[in-house]
Amino acid sequence: MCATKVAFPGFDSPAVGFEVPLEMLSACHHRVERQCQTLRRLVPHLAANGPDQAAREAAKNIMLYFDTSAKHHHADEEEDLFPALLQAAPESAMASLRELIDALCAQHRELEQVWGRIRWKLEGIWLGIEPELGAEEVAHMADLYQRHIAREEEEMLPLAARLLGDAQLDIVGRSMRLRRGIKEV
C-alpha cells in the first residue's frame, strides 16, 4: 500500500518578540496546537509506515518542542505572569484570580504527566523502535491542551491585557527572554 508523504517537522507561526509577552504566549499556544496536530497525524503514519525517517523526525521535533518551549511556557506563566497578575489585581478580583491561576497550574501538572507518558514512546520512535503510540492517548493529550489553551486565551490573556501596564509587561518579557538565555538587544 502506498502511503502519502506527509511533512511533519513543523509549521510557520506568527513571529512576535518578548517585547510583547502576551502575544508571545498566544503564539506559543498556536505552536502547541500545531505540535498536537503533528502528533495526531503521526499515529496513522506509524500504522502505515512504521518508524520511518519522517516519523522519526516528527518524534524528535515534538520531543524538542515539549521538552523546551512548552516547559518554558509554563514557567513564563507560573513564575512571571501569574505573580504579576496577583500583584496588579484589585482585592475584589483576588479570589476569582487565585481560582483561575490554581486551575491553570493544576492543568499544567496534568499536561506534564500526560506528556511524560507519551514522551518515552516518541523517544522509541526516534530511535527506530516499533512504536506503541496509541490514538487515544494522543487524543487525550491534544484535547487537554485544547481545553487549557482555550481557557488561557479566553480568560487569562484578556485579563492580563486589562490589568498589566507596559512596565509590568516589560518585566515579564525580560524574564521570558532570560529564561531562554537570550540577551537583550
Instruction: Give the chain's domains with CATH numbers.
Output: 21-179 (1.20.120.520)
DSSP string for 20-48 = SHHHHHHHHHHHHHHHHHHHHHHHHHHHH
pLDDT, residue 185, reads 61
122-151, pLDDT tens digit by residue? 999 999 987 789 999 999 999 999 999 999
pLDDT tens-digit map of 57-108 = 999 999 999 999 999 999 999 999 999 999 999 999 999 999 999 999 999 9
pLDDT at 9: 39
pLDDT of the residue at 15: 53
Would you state the pLDDT for residue 16? 63
Q: What is the mean pLDDT of residues 11-20?
A: 60
In this predicted model, which residue has the larger pLDDT, 152 or 3? 152
Q: What whole-number distance in Å separates Cα of residue 26 and Cα of residue 16?
A: 10
What pTM did the predictor assign?
0.86
| Distance, CA of 44 to CA of 46 (rounded, Å) | 5
100 Cβ partners below 8 Å, 6+ apart? 151, 155, 156, 159
Q: Is residue 5 predicted with pLDDT exceeding 80?
A: no
Helix axes 53-64, 21-49, angle to 10 degrees: 150
